[in-house]
Structure 1
Amino acid sequence: MKSKPYKLNGKLFRYNFDTCTVEYIQRADQETKEADAEWKRTHGSRSLYGVGEDGYIVLDTIGLSRENWADKEARDSYLSGWCNDLDEELSSMAADFVKYELPYLM
């Protein structure tokens, strides 16, 4: 069982009660859903993008106790820290791309 999506700092999360993990998710757009369905038809039902039956893609997961998910203050604090980590990682990846890959594309 999973919680309803929870939005914080422009990102979507949900709690997986079966595995006691928080999932960082995004809703798949129609093009992604169609590409995923086509891939499944031609590659033995394996998913290309990991689009779930509910239309969401799980981008990453982290562990969190049920008690901390139920406590809004603890949940928001934990997720805010994770949002900062995700933003720093994205910034670092973008800088690496500009430094190491972009010159070869010019």
Structure 2
Amino acid sequence: MLLVLDFTEARLSGVDFTKADLFDTVFRGADLHASNFTNASCGRTVFSGAKLRGACFAGARLGGTRFDGADLRDVDFAGSQMHGVDFRGADLRGARMPGDAKDSQHDATTRWPKGYSP
């Protein structure tokens, strides 16, 4: 049996998801500001339109993760592993990015941290 957790529109600000296995979890439109995803496994996790300002994804595994349209201002992605991440329409101003997010999806509406170029 396949279990998919769905937290669409949930209010989860400040929650500690450290080392959590969140594969295929849906956080669409959720309020997750200042939440901690340090070393979490977020493969194919959906954060579309989520409010994640000030969250921490340091060391997280982000394969195929969707952040399209999300508020990612001041998020810490240091040391995270990004592969095929969707940042279309996301606001990443002030975010701390890993050294390599080259295969990420983005568009003209994606707002990057000052001085960062994917």
- Structure scoring higher RCO (CA < 8 A, sep ≥ 6) equals 1
Determine which structure has the larger helix proportion and give its number. Answer: 1
Higher radius of gyration, 1 or 2 = 1
TM-score, structure 1 normalization: 0.17
Determine which structure has the larger strand proportion and give its number. Answer: 1
TM-score, structure 2 normalization: 0.16
